[in-house]
Amino acid sequence: MADHDLVIRGGTVIDGSGRPPFEADIAIDDGRIAQIAVDVGAGREEIDARGCIVTPGFVDIHTHYDAQVTWEQHLAPSTEHGVTTVVMGNCAVGVAPCRPDQRDLLVRVMAGVEDIPEPVMIEGLPWNWETFPEYLDAIAERECDADFAAMLPHGPLRVYVMGERGADRESASAGDLAEMSRIVKEAMEAGAIGFSTSRTLIHRALDGRLAPAETASEEELMTIARAIRETGKGVIEYIADFPGLPTGNTADFDLMRRFAQTAGAPLSYTLVEGPAYPGGWRELLKLTEAANASGVTIRGQVAPRAVGISFGLDLSFNPFSFKPSYKAIAHLPLAERVARMRDPEVRARILSEPPEMGAQSMGWMATMVDQMFRLSNPPNYEPPPPERFVNRAAAAAVSVEELAYEELLQDGGHAILYLPIANYRLGTLDQVLEMMRHPNTVVALGDGGAHYGMICDASYPTFMLTHWTRDREGERLSLSEVVRALTRGPAEVVGLLDRGLLSAGCKADVNVIDMNRLSLAHPNVAYDLPSGGRRMMQPASGYVATVLSGQVTRREGVPTGALPGRLIRGARANADQPASHAA
């Protein structure tokens, strides 16, 4: 007779706490971890984990599944990489709250900021909500392969309250502010896990206009912060450029700190090594340390590899997307397009023409050809500097455009060019290692559910486990460090204290991983979104099983059909009861 619902037998347990690995069985009952011991008895179902590591399910706190969760049950690509909990509504963009006459506007913002094609959202979104509580109620009906929590995004909030004035970034009136305060409190009470805002010049709608929240006044931010404080609930995510840092001006960080302090809530922000001020991330960490020492909880969200953009003939952009002669053939099927591009006359015209980008906000990156690499197969996300196109072109005595043109045509036009736009100035990830090891940072920035044709960083858990613990030439991290960074660390940052740890009483979200077989494949393109929309996927091998709430959702990378993932309303204490602000 079975003693438990599920037993994971004989694995090397890496429990998420950071302590050294140990061998044990894990018994699961009623969706929770019942026992971890050398022999826990029999299970009605068992997983043989001998020779494998056993970890908590991974927690990704920076995703954009706000739209995808309404039409798809598999929160891919994240769940293909051991992720069992996602937080969406980041970057101040989303799909709620939204009045019926504002839907097109929010779709254009999401399409511009997050590279989610308009036709995909137009066909996919059911729009069976208007207010944020109604949105939560709608997605609470969804059954998925990961748990999901939602932030209230600042952009939709502004547009909902102010209409076109909000989209045009006009100043909020006293009445506007009162209504924003009411909606923020309503959302937090309904189960929003937090609030996201943004102040960056990069976030723009399809027409090139800045996204709605980017220039909100301090008065507006503080009104929202006071509303958050009144509820005693929620965390904050904040996106900013910090443009004053190169001249020693900390006004932008100081505003962010005041926002967190006024809200009385933990805040996390994006931390990268930007090309404009390479040393800025260290200055930000010093300011972050000072804030935490004063009692204001702030964490930097860091990516475990370069913040990189992928370019290709079958992706959103390539280095020639804005050349008139390329535009003339861009509609053709890939094979036909490749054939046309091989024509010497077409090649000469495309290479000779200047780009015509118009209002395209992200197009400027496609022109940074000299800094690109060819993404190898299997992919190397720490490519050596000699492989940079500017160096390869000089060695071959050709222009970088000629080199990029020929590379794009490889593999039948499926080749991918990789542009590290941040965290890779010196051609190494050493600075990323320093960021990840800082006590005031958290690994994040996977962006799953967004940037479908530009980024596939949702694969970062597999990259963390392979590159940083096993494959990297140079300094590495221990398995215990990496597992904590993927599990308990992010869970604590957003107040989900019932998960990210293998301990009796915790939620039974578990990965069984064969490290000898664990590998990350080259990205591929799938046309499986609504309206036949395209997205990059990046399969992994070596995930023996993923367990969510005690149910096996994937075996050897293949979905089992179990969909226990549900909406998480608010924070969770260790006993799975709603909690107030997490430290």
Residue 443 near residue 460, CB atoms below 8 Å? yes
Round to whole Å and give the CA distance between 110 and 169. 16
Mean pLDDT of the chain: 95
pLDDT higher than threshold 50 for residue 17: yes
At residue 276, the pLDDT reads 79
Whether the pLDDT of residue 216 is over 60: the answer is: yes
User: Considering the domain boundaries, does residue 444 fall inside one?
Assistant: no
How confident is residue 361, by pLDDT bands cut at 50, 70 and 90?
A: low
Q: What torsion do the CA atoms of 430, 435, 437, 443 make, to the nearest 10 degrees?
A: -110
Token digits for 413?
A: 């036009």
Highest average pLDDT, of 127-141, 192-206, 562-576, comes from: 127-141
pLDDT tens digits, 447-495: 999 999 999 999 999 999 999 999 999 999 999 999 999 999 999 999 9
Domain total in the chain = 1
Residue that has been written with the tokens 């091998």 in this structure? 541
Evaluate if residue 215 carries a pLDDT over 50.
Answer: yes
**pLDDT tier, 578 (very low <50, low <70, confident <90, very high otherwise):** very low
**Rounded-to-integer distance, Cα 348 and Cα 367, Å:** 18
Where do we find the tokens 């965290």? 423
What is the amino acid identity at position 139?
A: I
Q: Is residue 400 domain-resident? A: yes
- Does residue 583 surpass a pLDDT of 70? no
SS3 label, residue 105: helix
| Strand positions, DSSP E, 228-306 | 235-240, 267-270, 298-302
**Alpha-carbon gap, residue 299 to 301, rounded angstroms:** 6
Whether 386 maps to a domain, the answer reads yes
pLDDT of residue 162: 97
Whether the Cβ atoms of residue 418 and residue 366 lie closer than 8 Å to each other: no
Query: Is 223 inside a domain boundary?
Result: no
pLDDT band at residue 387 under the 50/70/90 scheme? very high
199-208, 361-370, 526-535, 569-578: the lowest-pLDDT one: 569-578
Backbone torsion region of residue 191, taken as left when φ is above 0, otherwise alpha when ψ lies between -120 and 50, otherwise beta: left
The pTM assigned to this predicted structure is 0.96
- The number of helices, as runs of H, and strands, as runs of E, in the chain is 18, 26
Task: Produce one character per residue of 369-385: b if its CB has 16 or more CB atoms within 10 Å, e if not.
Answer: bbbbbbbeeebebbbee
Is residue 367 domain-resident?
Answer: yes
pLDDT digits (tens, 9 = 90+) for 154-187: 999 999 999 999 999 999 999 999 999 999 999 9
How are beta strands 307-311 and 543-548 bridged, if at all? unpaired
Band (365; pLDDT cuts 50, 70, 90)? confident
Query: Is residue 579 pLDDT above 80, yes or no?
Result: no
Q: Which domain holds residue 326?
A: 310-422
pLDDT digits (tens, 9 = 90+) for 424-447: 999 999 999 999 999 999 999 999
Band of residue 362 on the pLDDT scale cut at 50, 70, 90: low
Asked if residue 582 has pLDDT above 70, the reply is no
Q: Residue 418: is its pLDDT beyond 90?
A: yes
Answer whether residue 382 is part of any domain. yes
Question: Would you say residue 141 lies in a domain?
Answer: no
Average pLDDT over every residue of 105-110: 93
Q: pLDDT exceeding 70 applies to what percent of the chain?
A: 98
User: Across residues 368-376, what is the average pLDDT?
Assistant: 96
CA pair distance 451, 419, nearest whole angstrom? 14
- For 26-66, the pLDDT digits (tens) are 999 999 999 999 999 999 999 999 999 999 999 999 999 99
Asked whether the predicted pLDDT for residue 197 surpasses 80, the reply is: yes
